[in-house]
């Protein structure tokens, strides 16, 4: 690793045998957040869906099965997770367009608009959250939904996102959403360590 280059944790970019185990464990632990997210989108019936940090592809698969969008897209910085999710979603390619790409929040697709965008437990890894939220806002269709689930952190969290570091992540994320042109439609504590936020573009 070159000097000055940031070392990525398994949580941020799973890799190797340990990464496979980590991905499997996170998919199990995140099930309440997956179900909550699908419920927030059920009435909207999005025709296009984008996920930032899709991991093993478990939520993407749930969206494909239950909401049946015409287009399913996502970005994830881990080559291992992209490969895993590609296999999981292979059978849906005959019924919908599926495009899963390697990349982090700074490399979102430019082919919007999307009816729904989700980011589960990836916010803490965004290095420039204001810029990313503004880009998400530009990718959403009018009336589209952005669902974000935060992994709550303590005051000494060692994560890249400055908004996730001081123990007041929820209120700081809400302000960043509003600054980026969103209206918060609802919030809920999903578990002891996860908090969900639903936002739409301001008219």
pLDDT per position as a tens digit, 149-182: 998 876 767 888 999 987 789 999 999 999 999 9
Q: What percentage of the chain carries pLDDT values higher than 70? A: 89
- Global pTM exceeds 0.75: yes
Q: Tokens for 56?
A: 């093993």
Q: What is the CATH number of domain 30-201?
A: 3.40.50.150
Whole-number pLDDT of residue 4: 45
Whether 119 shows a pLDDT value over 90: the answer reads yes
Give the residue extent of every domain in the chain: 30-201
Give the distance between the most distant pair of CA atoms in the chain. 49
């Amino acid at each position: 690793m070159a000097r000055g280059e940031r070392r990525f944790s398994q949580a941020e970019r799973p890799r190797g045998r340990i990464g496979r185990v980590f991905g499997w464990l996170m998919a199990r632990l995140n099930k309440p957040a997956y179900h909550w997210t699908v419920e927030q989108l059920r009435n909207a019936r999005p025709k296009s869906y984008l996920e930032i940090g899709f991991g093993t592809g478990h939520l993407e698969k749930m969206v494909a099965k239950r909401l049946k969008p015409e287009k399913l897209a996502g970005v994830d910085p881990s080559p291992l997770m992209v490969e895993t999710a590609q296999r999981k979603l292979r059978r849906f390619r005959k019924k919908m367009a599926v495009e899963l790409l390697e990349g982090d929040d700074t490399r979102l697709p430019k082919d919007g608009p999307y009816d729904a965008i989700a980011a589960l437990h990836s916010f803490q890894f965004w290095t420039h959250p204001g810029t990313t939220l503004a880009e998400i806002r530009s990718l959403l269709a009018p009336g589209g939904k952005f669902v974000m689930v935060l992994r709550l952190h303590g005051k000494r969290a060692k994560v890249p996102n400055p908004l996730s570091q001081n123990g007041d992540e929820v209120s700081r994320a809400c302000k960043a959403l509003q600054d980026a042109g969103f209206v918060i439609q609802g919030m809920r504590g999903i578990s002891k360590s996860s908090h969900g936020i639903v936002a739409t573009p301001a008219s």
